[in-house]
Amino acid sequence: MDDNKLYNALLKSQDERRQFERDRGEAKAEDGFRKERPYAGSDRDKPNWTRLEHDRNEYPPTVYDSSMSLGLISNPNPWSREQLRERKIIYSGMPDKEVMDAYRELRIQLRNRAGEGNFTVMFSSLGSGSGGLLTAFNLAASFGLDSHSSALLVDCDPYSNELEGLVSAPMEYGVTDFVGDRSLTIKSIIYPSGVERLSVIPAGTQASSAVELFSAVRMRELITELKARYPDRCIVLNAPPFRENTEGRILERFADQIVFGVPFGEVTGEIIADSVDALGSEKFSGLIFQE
Protein backbone atom coordinates (compact mmCIF):
# COMPACT_ATOMS: atom_id res chain seq x y z
CA MET A 1 0.00 0.00 0.00
CA ASP A 2 1.48 3.39 -0.98
CA ASP A 3 1.94 6.16 1.53
CA ASN A 4 -1.10 8.20 0.35
CA LYS A 5 -3.48 5.27 0.72
CA LEU A 6 -2.03 4.39 4.11
CA TYR A 7 -2.37 8.00 5.28
CA ASN A 8 -5.97 8.24 4.07
CA ALA A 9 -6.89 4.95 5.72
CA LEU A 10 -5.34 6.17 8.99
CA LEU A 11 -7.32 9.42 8.86
CA LYS A 12 -10.51 7.51 8.17
CA SER A 13 -9.85 5.17 11.08
CA GLN A 14 -9.20 8.08 13.44
CA ASP A 15 -12.33 9.90 12.30
CA GLU A 16 -14.43 6.81 12.83
CA ARG A 17 -12.94 6.26 16.30
CA ARG A 18 -13.48 9.93 17.24
CA GLN A 19 -17.09 9.75 16.05
CA PHE A 20 -17.66 6.55 18.04
CA GLU A 21 -16.28 8.12 21.22
CA ARG A 22 -18.44 11.21 20.70
CA ASP A 23 -21.50 8.96 20.40
CA ARG A 24 -20.51 7.29 23.64
CA GLY A 25 -20.14 10.66 25.30
CA GLU A 26 -16.42 10.43 26.00
CA ALA A 27 -14.99 13.91 26.58
CA LYS A 28 -12.02 14.74 24.35
CA ALA A 29 -9.58 17.57 24.57
CA GLU A 30 -10.70 18.97 21.21
CA ASP A 31 -14.27 19.09 22.52
CA GLY A 32 -13.22 21.37 25.37
CA PHE A 33 -14.48 18.74 27.88
CA ARG A 34 -17.98 20.16 27.54
CA LYS A 35 -19.75 17.10 26.29
CA GLU A 36 -21.61 15.18 29.02
CA ARG A 37 -21.73 11.45 29.29
CA PRO A 38 -25.07 9.90 28.39
CA TYR A 39 -27.47 9.41 31.33
CA ALA A 40 -28.13 5.94 32.70
CA GLY A 41 -31.23 5.44 30.57
CA SER A 42 -29.46 5.90 27.23
CA ASP A 43 -29.50 3.35 24.45
CA ARG A 44 -25.96 2.20 25.12
CA ASP A 45 -26.79 1.05 28.65
CA LYS A 46 -30.05 -0.87 28.41
CA PRO A 47 -31.57 -1.75 31.82
CA ASN A 48 -31.24 -5.37 32.82
CA TRP A 49 -34.55 -5.46 34.72
CA THR A 50 -38.03 -6.49 33.65
CA ARG A 51 -41.19 -4.76 34.80
CA LEU A 52 -43.63 -7.07 36.55
CA GLU A 53 -47.34 -6.29 36.78
CA HIS A 54 -48.85 -7.26 40.14
CA ASP A 55 -52.42 -7.56 41.29
CA ARG A 56 -53.39 -4.55 43.43
CA ASN A 57 -55.13 -6.81 45.96
CA GLU A 58 -52.02 -8.96 46.34
CA TYR A 59 -49.74 -6.00 46.99
CA PRO A 60 -51.63 -3.20 48.78
CA PRO A 61 -50.45 0.36 48.07
CA THR A 62 -47.77 1.71 50.38
CA VAL A 63 -48.73 5.34 49.76
CA TYR A 64 -52.19 6.33 50.98
CA ASP A 65 -54.60 6.78 48.08
CA SER A 66 -58.22 6.94 49.20
CA SER A 67 -59.60 5.50 45.97
CA MET A 68 -57.29 2.45 46.30
CA SER A 69 -56.69 2.04 50.03
CA LEU A 70 -60.33 2.31 51.04
CA GLY A 71 -61.27 -0.31 48.46
CA LEU A 72 -59.17 -2.81 50.44
CA ILE A 73 -61.45 -2.61 53.51
CA SER A 74 -62.51 -6.17 54.28
CA ASN A 75 -65.84 -7.23 52.80
CA PRO A 76 -65.62 -11.04 52.52
CA ASN A 77 -69.32 -11.68 51.96
CA PRO A 78 -70.77 -8.81 49.88
CA TRP A 79 -74.52 -8.60 49.37
CA SER A 80 -75.83 -9.13 45.85
CA ARG A 81 -78.12 -6.51 44.31
CA GLU A 82 -81.09 -8.77 44.94
CA GLN A 83 -80.15 -9.11 48.61
CA LEU A 84 -79.65 -5.36 48.95
CA ARG A 85 -83.04 -4.73 47.37
CA GLU A 86 -84.72 -7.20 49.75
CA ARG A 87 -83.24 -5.34 52.74
CA LYS A 88 -84.04 -1.90 51.29
CA ILE A 89 -80.35 -0.97 51.31
CA ILE A 90 -79.34 1.62 48.73
CA TYR A 91 -76.84 0.75 45.99
CA SER A 92 -75.49 2.37 42.86
CA GLY A 93 -77.77 1.79 39.87
CA MET A 94 -80.85 0.94 41.95
CA PRO A 95 -84.19 1.33 40.10
CA ASP A 96 -85.57 3.94 42.52
CA LYS A 97 -83.34 6.82 41.47
CA GLU A 98 -85.21 9.35 43.61
CA VAL A 99 -84.27 7.54 46.81
CA MET A 100 -80.65 7.23 45.69
CA ASP A 101 -80.48 10.92 44.78
CA ALA A 102 -81.99 11.89 48.14
CA TYR A 103 -79.19 10.10 50.02
CA ARG A 104 -76.59 11.56 47.69
CA GLU A 105 -77.91 15.03 48.48
CA LEU A 106 -77.73 14.28 52.20
CA ARG A 107 -74.13 13.16 51.79
CA ILE A 108 -73.24 16.35 49.91
CA GLN A 109 -74.91 18.64 52.43
CA LEU A 110 -73.33 16.95 55.46
CA ARG A 111 -69.88 16.91 53.89
CA ASN A 112 -70.13 20.56 52.86
CA ARG A 113 -71.08 21.48 56.39
CA ALA A 114 -68.24 19.39 57.85
CA GLY A 115 -65.48 20.71 55.58
CA GLU A 116 -62.26 18.74 55.06
CA GLY A 117 -61.43 15.54 56.90
CA ASN A 118 -63.58 12.97 58.66
CA PHE A 119 -66.53 13.72 60.91
CA THR A 120 -69.22 12.10 63.05
CA VAL A 121 -72.97 12.33 62.46
CA MET A 122 -75.50 11.27 65.09
CA PHE A 123 -78.86 10.09 63.78
CA SER A 124 -81.88 9.71 66.05
CA SER A 125 -85.53 9.21 65.20
CA LEU A 126 -88.19 11.47 66.70
CA GLY A 127 -90.75 8.68 66.38
CA SER A 128 -91.77 6.13 68.97
CA GLY A 129 -90.17 2.71 69.09
CA SER A 130 -87.54 1.42 66.66
CA GLY A 131 -87.35 2.01 62.92
CA GLY A 132 -84.52 4.49 62.52
CA LEU A 133 -81.65 2.08 62.02
CA LEU A 134 -82.30 1.45 58.31
CA THR A 135 -82.10 5.19 57.63
CA ALA A 136 -78.85 5.46 59.60
CA PHE A 137 -77.47 2.42 57.76
CA ASN A 138 -78.34 3.88 54.34
CA LEU A 139 -76.89 7.24 55.33
CA ALA A 140 -73.60 5.49 56.12
CA ALA A 141 -73.85 3.42 52.93
CA SER A 142 -74.17 6.62 50.88
CA PHE A 143 -70.69 7.65 52.03
CA GLY A 144 -69.38 4.19 51.19
CA LEU A 145 -70.63 4.62 47.62
CA ASP A 146 -68.04 7.36 47.16
CA SER A 147 -64.75 5.61 46.24
CA HIS A 148 -62.77 8.37 47.99
CA SER A 149 -64.40 7.93 51.39
CA SER A 150 -65.47 5.18 53.76
CA ALA A 151 -68.09 4.91 56.45
CA LEU A 152 -68.52 3.28 59.82
CA LEU A 153 -71.93 2.75 61.36
CA VAL A 154 -71.78 2.59 65.15
CA ASP A 155 -75.09 1.28 66.46
CA CYS A 156 -75.71 2.83 69.87
CA ASP A 157 -79.27 1.56 70.23
CA PRO A 158 -78.97 -1.52 72.49
CA TYR A 159 -82.77 -1.90 72.58
CA SER A 160 -83.02 -2.99 68.94
CA ASN A 161 -81.55 -5.96 67.05
CA GLU A 162 -82.34 -4.69 63.53
CA LEU A 163 -78.68 -4.52 62.56
CA GLU A 164 -78.38 -8.30 62.44
CA GLY A 165 -80.70 -8.41 59.44
CA LEU A 166 -78.74 -5.75 57.51
CA VAL A 167 -75.19 -7.14 57.66
CA SER A 168 -73.77 -10.23 55.99
CA ALA A 169 -71.41 -11.27 58.80
CA PRO A 170 -72.19 -12.78 62.21
CA MET A 171 -71.59 -10.36 65.07
CA GLU A 172 -70.80 -10.94 68.72
CA TYR A 173 -69.36 -8.05 70.74
CA GLY A 174 -70.33 -4.39 70.40
CA VAL A 175 -70.02 -0.91 71.85
CA THR A 176 -71.35 -1.61 75.34
CA ASP A 177 -69.23 -4.77 75.61
CA PHE A 178 -66.07 -2.87 74.60
CA VAL A 179 -66.67 -0.02 77.06
CA GLY A 180 -67.46 -2.42 79.90
CA ASP A 181 -64.60 -4.87 79.25
CA ARG A 182 -61.08 -3.46 78.82
CA SER A 183 -59.78 -6.81 77.59
CA LEU A 184 -61.64 -6.31 74.29
CA THR A 185 -59.91 -4.55 71.40
CA ILE A 186 -61.48 -2.27 68.80
CA LYS A 187 -60.70 -4.85 66.13
CA SER A 188 -62.89 -7.37 67.95
CA ILE A 189 -66.03 -5.23 67.61
CA ILE A 190 -65.74 -4.02 63.97
CA TYR A 191 -67.46 -6.17 61.35
CA PRO A 192 -67.87 -6.04 57.56
CA SER A 193 -71.36 -5.02 56.52
CA GLY A 194 -71.74 -6.63 53.11
CA VAL A 195 -71.65 -3.15 51.55
CA GLU A 196 -68.41 -1.91 50.01
CA ARG A 197 -66.37 0.53 52.13
CA LEU A 198 -68.87 0.30 55.00
CA SER A 199 -68.04 -1.34 58.33
CA VAL A 200 -70.31 -1.66 61.36
CA ILE A 201 -70.08 -1.88 65.12
CA PRO A 202 -73.15 -3.38 66.86
CA ALA A 203 -74.61 -1.95 70.04
CA GLY A 204 -73.53 -4.86 72.23
CA THR A 205 -75.25 -6.94 74.85
CA GLN A 206 -75.29 -4.71 77.95
CA ALA A 207 -78.47 -2.72 77.35
CA SER A 208 -79.37 -2.23 81.00
CA SER A 209 -76.25 -0.18 81.73
CA ALA A 210 -76.01 1.63 78.37
CA VAL A 211 -76.50 5.12 79.86
CA GLU A 212 -73.58 4.73 82.27
CA LEU A 213 -71.38 3.07 79.65
CA PHE A 214 -71.96 5.81 77.06
CA SER A 215 -70.93 8.34 79.72
CA ALA A 216 -67.65 6.55 80.46
CA VAL A 217 -64.20 7.82 79.50
CA ARG A 218 -63.57 4.64 77.51
CA MET A 219 -66.49 5.56 75.23
CA ARG A 220 -64.81 8.84 74.37
CA GLU A 221 -61.56 7.00 73.77
CA LEU A 222 -63.36 4.64 71.40
CA ILE A 223 -64.83 7.43 69.25
CA THR A 224 -61.50 9.30 69.20
CA GLU A 225 -59.66 6.19 68.00
CA LEU A 226 -62.28 5.39 65.37
CA LYS A 227 -62.01 8.90 63.91
CA ALA A 228 -58.22 8.68 63.76
CA ARG A 229 -58.09 5.40 61.82
CA TYR A 230 -59.03 6.78 58.40
CA PRO A 231 -58.68 10.41 57.26
CA ASP A 232 -61.64 10.09 54.86
CA ARG A 233 -64.11 8.27 57.08
CA CYS A 234 -67.61 9.34 58.05
CA ILE A 235 -68.88 7.85 61.30
CA VAL A 236 -72.63 7.54 61.76
CA LEU A 237 -73.85 7.05 65.33
CA ASN A 238 -77.31 5.51 65.47
CA ALA A 239 -78.90 6.67 68.72
CA PRO A 240 -82.15 5.40 70.28
CA PRO A 241 -85.31 7.48 69.65
CA PHE A 242 -84.51 10.95 70.99
CA ARG A 243 -87.81 11.69 72.71
CA GLU A 244 -88.06 8.37 74.57
CA ASN A 245 -84.50 7.85 75.80
CA THR A 246 -81.69 9.82 77.42
CA GLU A 247 -78.92 8.17 75.41
CA GLY A 248 -79.27 10.68 72.57
CA ARG A 249 -78.39 13.59 74.83
CA ILE A 250 -75.33 11.70 76.09
CA LEU A 251 -74.14 10.65 72.62
CA GLU A 252 -74.54 14.21 71.32
CA ARG A 253 -71.17 15.12 72.83
CA PHE A 254 -69.40 12.73 70.45
CA ALA A 255 -71.04 14.07 67.28
CA ASP A 256 -69.97 16.88 64.98
CA GLN A 257 -73.44 17.02 63.41
CA ILE A 258 -76.89 15.80 64.46
CA VAL A 259 -79.75 14.73 62.19
CA PHE A 260 -83.26 13.81 63.32
CA GLY A 261 -85.48 11.29 61.56
CA VAL A 262 -89.14 12.20 61.10
CA PRO A 263 -91.43 9.18 60.51
CA PHE A 264 -94.27 9.98 58.11
CA GLY A 265 -97.54 10.87 59.84
CA GLU A 266 -96.14 10.31 63.33
CA VAL A 267 -94.49 13.58 64.27
CA THR A 268 -95.95 17.08 64.28
CA GLY A 269 -94.16 20.37 63.67
CA GLU A 270 -94.49 21.20 67.35
CA ILE A 271 -92.73 17.97 68.34
CA ILE A 272 -89.89 18.75 65.93
CA ALA A 273 -89.47 22.27 67.33
CA ASP A 274 -89.55 21.03 70.92
CA SER A 275 -86.96 18.33 70.15
CA VAL A 276 -84.57 20.82 68.55
CA ASP A 277 -84.99 23.13 71.53
CA ALA A 278 -84.38 20.24 73.94
CA LEU A 279 -81.22 19.35 72.06
CA GLY A 280 -79.95 22.88 72.64
CA SER A 281 -76.99 22.46 70.32
CA GLU A 282 -75.61 24.24 67.25
CA LYS A 283 -74.69 20.81 65.93
CA PHE A 284 -78.22 20.26 64.60
CA SER A 285 -77.95 19.89 60.81
CA GLY A 286 -81.44 18.98 59.61
CA LEU A 287 -84.22 16.46 59.26
CA ILE A 288 -84.70 13.25 57.27
CA PHE A 289 -88.33 12.51 56.51
CA GLN A 290 -88.92 8.76 56.61
CA GLU A 291 -91.71 7.00 54.76
68 falls in which pLDDT band (50, 70, 90)?
Answer: very low
What's the confidence (pLDDT) of residue 238? Answer: 96
- Identify which has the larger pLDDT, 22 or 156: 156
Q: Give yes or no for residue 6 having a pLDDT over 50.
A: no
pLDDT at 31: 43
**pLDDT at position 55 over 60:** no
- Note the pLDDT of residue 147: 84
Residues near 205 by beta carbon (within 8 Å), at least 6 away in sequence = 158, 173, 174, 176, 177
pLDDT class of 29 with cuts at 50, 70, 90: very low
In terms of Cα–Cα distance, which of 19, 237, 47 is closest to 123?
237
The per-residue pLDDT for 50 is: 39
Stretch 177-202: mean pLDDT, rounded? 95
Whether the pLDDT of residue 26 is over 90: the answer is no
Give pTM, 2 decimals: 0.74
Residue 53 has pLDDT above 80, yes or no: no
pLDDT of amino acid 105: 95
At residue 8 the predicted structure's pLDDT band, cuts being 50, 70 and 90, is low
Q: Determine what percent of the chain is predicted with pLDDT higher than 90.
A: 56
**Which residues have CB under 8 Å from 283's CB, separation 6+?**
252, 255, 256, 257, 258
Q: Does the pLDDT of residue 201 top 90, yes or no?
A: yes
pLDDT at residue 173, as a whole number: 95
Supply the CATH classification number for the domain 66-290: 3.40.50.300
Contacts of 265 (CB under 8 A, 6+ apart): none
**Residue 135 confidence (pLDDT) above 90:** yes
Contact 273, 191 (CB under 8 A): no
> 24-28, 40-44, 130-134, 246-250 — which one is most confidently predicted on average?
246-250
Q: What is the rounded CA–CA span in Å between residue 22 and residue 51?
A: 31
Contacts of 186 (CB under 8 A, 6+ apart): 178, 222, 225, 226
Does the structure show a pLDDT above 70 at 289? Answer: yes
- Looking at per-residue pLDDT, the higher value among 22 and 243 belongs to 243
pLDDT above 80 for 160: yes
Lowest pLDDT segment from 149-158, 196-205, 227-236: 227-236
Angle value at C-alpha 43, between 38 and 49, nearest 5 degrees: 110
What's the length of the chain?
291
pLDDT tens sequence across 241-266: 998 888 988 999 999 999 999 998 88
Instruction: Give residue limits of the domains in the chain.
Output: 1-51, 66-290
Least confident range of 51-55, 79-83, 152-156: 51-55
* Average confidence (pLDDT) over 94-100: 94
